Every structure is written in structure tokens, then in C-alpha cells.
Amino acid sequence: MAADLILINGKVITVDPKDSIAEAVAVKSSKIIRVGSEREIEHLASKTTTVINLKGKTVTPGLIDTHAHFARSGTSQIYVLNLRYPKAKSIKETIRLVKTKVEKTPKGKWIRGVGWDEALFDEKRYITRWDLDPVSPDHPVILTHTSGHYIAVNTNALNLAKITKKTPQPKGGTIVKDPSSQEPIGIFIEPPAMDLLRNLVPSWTKEEIEIGIKKAQELFLTEGVTTVKDPGVDDATLAAYQNLRRRRELKMRVYLLYTVNSSTQAEEAVKRLAVKGDAFLKIGGLKVFLDGSGMGRTAWMYEEWNKNFTDKDIGNRGYPVIPLEEFRRIVKIGHRAGFQISTHAIGEKSIDETLSAYETVLEETPNENLRHSIIHAILPTNMALKKMEKLGDNLAIETQSPFLYFIGDNYAGNFGPERVRRVIPLKSMLNRGIIVGNGSDWSVCPFPPRFGLWAAIARETWKGRFGIQPFGTDESITIRDSLRTYTVMAARCLSMDDIIGSIEPGKYADFAVWSEDMYTISVNALKNLDVEMTIVGQEIVYHNVSSDIDVVKAPARVG
């Protein structure tokens, strides 16, 4: 059988069960047909075979991000003000960026920004309405925190929403108010509070979302990411994805979760949607939030949160963002309809309740094909780890090692010295055989997997505010295991491990070609790895112009 594509003269990290290393790969009709030595592969070439001479470069499976707000963040890249560190290192710099945007925007139009983090500000505090008001007298302003779990707004926005000191606290959310005057300071935490403002902001059009998805795709492919799980889409976003797929403009594989916040929405979703799709676009499940944020100290804990590492946030153990019984109903509705349930759960209490809900529905209605997931699972108890192990192939954990670096200073300050070393316990989970997929939660963190590959090993924070390694290294893993969380194990989180995630015959030809061998370079060098080529289903979808990799039509003999 003549191959359509052959990759030769490289190091092929297959991530198969034996973690085999090969020299060459042959592809036919978008799928891998042979992996082995160059001598074993060369006879599969014909005059029409495309041959890629890797010139010693390293090939891995295309990487998989199991949790990235792909469409939303891609759209924000184009239309929203970027306030991420180090672009905005202080509130002063943030206000300057807002002022510049105001000067270019017609009066009355919303100013949107995203990415600020008070833990990285020089001032180490929230942005308030009083910071924003002097530069935005004629515009409503809404600035989303990097966590996505709280927003800062100005007085114009408060007035449009008719929010005053008499506005009651919404259940499952917080309007931060001045302790003495009870005036809202312009900070809203968690969706039940944030939506009081967000519902006033014009939604993106389907066309704008399509442009955003294409922008995100362009960015991800340059970093070797060939598959992404977009957690929590709405009708407009789903339609945008479907349009792109119909026009064959979707060059990556995308697994979608549909957002539900109530049992009523869950019932409506399972009636209207179906678990369906193809190898490039699949509606796979439902996304639901049970608790809040580690950065906002609203995740649901057994003990009080910390502040500034050693102080206690008296009385604050976080909270569920929806009633527990309502959450259980959502899980039951989705499970019985054959949908994967992916639950956002960060705190100990939230993780335990999620596991309990999964155990219950699996006992009542056994279905071993759904592989329900816990998104983040930042601080599981030892008992939770035992339950995860017991659930085996019925459960997947979708966590984010980049959190340790990019938001680690914030996390360390909030989790405190005793809990911090249990944050994202990758080694404990992998040692127990728990399925763990990695990701970025883009745009909470930058998306390139090289950062996550490194962070899973180094467990360092960006600024070292409470020490460079407040998380310790007891839960550090090897580069081989780190790569597996972005490839074969990540594929299991999407129930796509039969078609992607490793370089084995029968699977799709999704590859990332790297400038260096990640198995042999230093740990710190991982952050600076370059992707020289990305291939999806044998199509070269990215080729670094500075790369010396050769792509040629082959003569009969390759070697």
C-alpha cells in the first residue's frame, strides 16, 4: 500500500503503551498505517507520496487541550481590551489602557477588557468603580478578571443595571460593597452576581464568533495543539462552529460542552441536542458549575480560606453557585440521556459532592461509556482520590498545570501554607491510575502547552510572591507523564482515545514537530520549545517559515 505521507529522519515519540520511540511514520487517507524504522517505512513511498524530512527533529502526537474557552477567548483576542500581566502590571497601567480605549470609542458604547489579576498588580487590590470613573465619564465599563469569575465595573455600568446599596445579594454570587456605606464598589463575583451586568452587554454576533474561532485556531496550531475541548458553548457559538465545519474551515478537532445552569436548561438541552458529530466537531456533553473560583476565594471548602498566605478569611468557606439538589438533578438528567457531564469543581467540598453525584447515577443507571469529568479538581481530599481511583474509567479529571505558574501567586496566597502543597496533585492522581487530562483554561492562562508541560514538573509561580515553589515538588511528575496528560490521557477525557492521542496505526495522523527533543532537554528549556510544524489528518496546517524541515514529493525510494 503506497502511503500518502511519510515522515522520516526524526525521533518519533509515539506515547503508545510502551512509550516507544520510532524513526518514521507512514500515513494513508488521513490515518497512520505504519510506525517504525526508516527502513521499514521507505518501501511505502511512491511518486505521489509527500515526504517530510524531519532532519532530526522530534515528533509527538498532536497535543490536546482538555479545557480552553476557545471560541470566547478567540473572539476576545480581536474585540476586547487585553489587560493581562505583564501588559498591565498595576491598576495605574490598567486605567491608562482603559482611557486610551475610551478615547477611540463612541460615547455610550461599552468598554470591555479581560485578564487583570490583582495578585500581580503593584497595588495588590481589586480595581474599583472609583479607579474607572475619572477616565470613563461617558462609557459603561466592564473588565473581566483573568479567572473569569469576577468583574470590575464603573458607575455608569452600575447605573444602567440599577444597582445600588439596597440591591440584595444574589444567591450563589457576591456584590462587593463598602463596609461602612454599603455602596457597591464595582466588583461582582460569580455568575449570579456578574450576570446582573453582563446581560446588559451586547452579545457577539455569529459572524464575530466565527472570526474569533478562526483566530483561536490559527494561534493554537502554531503551538502544536490539534484538538481542544471547548467547555460551555451557547446556541450562537454552536452555530458558528457548525458553519465553519460545513465550509471545511475548521482545521482542528473540537469537542463541545453545552452550558446548563439549571435542571430546566438541562432537560431542554438533552431534548434539543444529541451526542453527535464527526472527527472534527462533536457535541459531547453538558457543562455545569458547582462552585466558584480559587482566585476569588469562592470555591467550596471545608475550612476557611486564607488571605496573604498566612491570614484567615474569617467565615469564608466559599459556596455552591447552584443549590446542591439542583446540581444532582442536572447530573441525573444528562447521565440518563447519554451525555458526558463535566462539572466545574475546585474546592474540597465541591469535589466530594461531585463524586458523590456521579457515584449515585452510575449505581442507579450503569453506563460505562460516558466518562463524566471534573473540571479543575484543584484540591481533592485523600478520600476523594480513593473515590476517583475506584470510579476508574468512569471518571476523567481535566486539570490545568499552567495554573501553578500563571496564577500560582494568587492561589498560594488563598490556599495557605498547609493546603498549598496539595494543590493539583498530579503525581498522586497518576500513581492511582486516575485519568488526567491537561489544559490551559484559556484565557485564564496562556494556551501554549509547553508552559503546562514545564509547570507540571517545576511547580513554580510567576512572581514568587510567597516563594518560587510554595506548592513544593512532592506532586511533580516526569516529562513523559506530563506529555501523556496532553496526549493519550487527554484523548480519554474526550472519549476519543481510539482515534487520537498517540502515534499508532489506525489513529488519525495528528502530529506536532518540535525544535528539540523534550525527553532530553533541561526542564527549564521546555518553556521555550518551538513547534516547527503541525499536521492534522495528514494536512500540514502550520509550517514555521524559519524551519529547515523539507517537504517534497518523493521518488520511488526515500532513503
Give CA–CA dist 386/225, Å, rounded: 32
State the pLDDT at residue 463: 93
The share of the chain scoring above pLDDT 90, in percent, equals: 96
Place of cell 455569529: 206
Residue 368 is predicted with a pLDDT of 80
Pairing, β 111-116 against β 174-177: unpaired
Residue with cell 515519540: 13
pLDDT tens digits, one per residue of 484-499: 999 999 999 999 999 9
Say how far apart CA 6 and CA 511 lie, in whole Å.
12
pLDDT in tens, 401-438: 999 999 999 999 999 999 999 999 999 999 999 999 99
The number of beta carbons lying within 10 Å of the beta carbon of residue 400 is: 28
pLDDT in tens, 28-75: 999 999 999 999 999 999 999 999 999 999 999 999 999 999 999 999
How confident is the model at residue 353, as a pLDDT? 98
Rounded to whole angstroms, the maximal C-alpha distance in the chain is: 82
Domain segments of the chain as ranges: 5-62+506-553, 72-198, 206-493
Task: Reply yes or no on domain 5-62+506-553 having CATH 3.40.50.10190.
Answer: no
In this structure, the dihedral spanned by the alpha carbons of residues 207, 211, 213 and 218, taken in order and rounded to 10 degrees, is 160
pLDDT (average), residues 522-530? 97
Question: What is the edge-to-edge ordering of all strands in the sheet holding 511-514?
Answer: 21-22, 11-13, 58-61, 511-514, 531-536, 539-543
pLDDT over 90 at 182, yes or no: yes
pLDDT at 558 over 70: no
Please determine, for residue 166, whether its predicted confidence score (pLDDT) is greater than 90. Answer: yes
How would residue 529 be classed by pLDDT, with cut points 50, 70 and 90?
A: very high
Q: Among 345, 319, 340, 318, which Cα is nearest to 330's?
A: 340
- pLDDT the model gives residue 1: 78
Name the band, by pLDDT with cuts 50, 70 and 90, for residue 448.
Answer: very high
The answer to whether residue 369 scores a pLDDT higher than 80 is: yes
Cβ pair 62, 224 in contact under 8 A: yes
Determine what percent of the chain is predicted with pLDDT higher than 70: 99
Say which amino acid occupies 450.
R
Bridge-based pairing of strands 81-82 and 111-116 is: parallel
Q: What pLDDT is recorded for position 335? A: 97
CATH number of 72-198: 3.10.310.70
If you ran DSSP here, which 8-state letter would residue 294 be given? T
pLDDT at 276: 87
> Is it the case that residue 555 has pLDDT exceeding 60?
no
pLDDT value for 554:
55
Q: Tell me, what's the pLDDT at 540?
A: 97
The answer regarding whether domain 206-493 maps to CATH 3.20.20.140 reads yes
What's the rounded Cα separation, in Å, for the pair 223 and 236?
27
For residue 556, pLDDT over 90 is answered with no
pLDDT, tens digit (0-9, with 9 covering 90-100), for 291-316:
999 999 999 999 999 999 999 999 99
User: Which residues on adjacent β-strands are paired with residue 344?
Assistant: 289, 375
- CA atoms of 345 and 350, how far apart (whole Å): 5
pLDDT at residue 15 tops 90: yes
The pLDDT of residue 557: 44
What is the pLDDT confidence band of residue 378, given thresholds at 50, 70 and 90? very high
Instruction: Assess whether pLDDT exceeds 90 at residue 261.
Output: yes
Would the pLDDT of 210 be above 60? yes
